[in-house]
Amino acid sequence: MAGFRLLVGLGNPGNEYSNTRHNAGAEWIEALAQQSQCLLRMEKKFSGLFGKVHIAGEECYLLIPTTYMNLSGTAVQAVCKFYKISPEEVLVVHDELDIPPGSAKLKKGGGHGGHNGLKDIISKLSNNREFARLRIGIGHPGHASQVANYVLKKAAPDDYSKIEQTINESLRYVEDIVAGNLNPVMNKLHSFKA
């Protein structure tokens, strides 16, 4: 299977959103940039923080859209168009309500599951759903009416620590992920519990 050329971490810009549950994807990209000694710079034409890294011998682009979550697709579409990247070569890292904190799941393609960032990316990529997703568990507040408030709040210290551990654990497999060796990573990651 072919690998990934664009790794995208979803979140909301601004200090008031840093360390909130909804920013788990953006934190993953920040951690990867730090690990790869890559400086993410604001790139106006891509509506986001952008950088280039070499992983597993491949040049990859890192992106954190700064458009607010609901418009994440604008940034993804701009990078894909500029570098001629197909949706199949994109990995989107995002927070996932249906997975408890301390767990993560990797999957290829699928729907948006009500996630507004994914919804916008799918629509901006001409309804192509074939990009991969790394879903970082943040847990569910228990009722749909509480979701908006819940994702925009900082996680409790115990949950936050589990989310951080999950980010660090999944970054251990970044070379395999980028190379497209998803099955062995799924086996290891899906059994991990922080």
- 181 annotated to a ligand binding site: no
Write out pLDDT tens, residues 61-95: 999 999 999 999 999 999 999 999 999 999 999 99
Residue 13 confidence class, pLDDT cut points 50, 70, 90? very high
* Three-state DSSP state, 83: helix
Residue 58 confidence class, pLDDT cut points 50, 70, 90? confident
- 68 annotated to a ligand binding site: yes
94 is catalytic: no
pLDDT of residue 1 exceeding 80, the answer is no
Would you list the domain boundaries of the chain? 6-189
Per-residue pLDDT, 2: 66
Fold designation for 6-189: Rossmann fold (3.40.50)
Write out pLDDT tens, residues 120-158: 999 999 999 999 999 999 999 999 899 999 999 999 999
Q: How are strands ordered across the β-sheet holding 41-43?
A: 41-43, 48-55, 58-65, 6-9, 90-96, 132-137, 104-108
CA–CA separation, 99 and 25 (whole Å): 14
- 17 annotated to a ligand binding site: yes
CA–CA separation, 129 and 8 (whole Å): 15
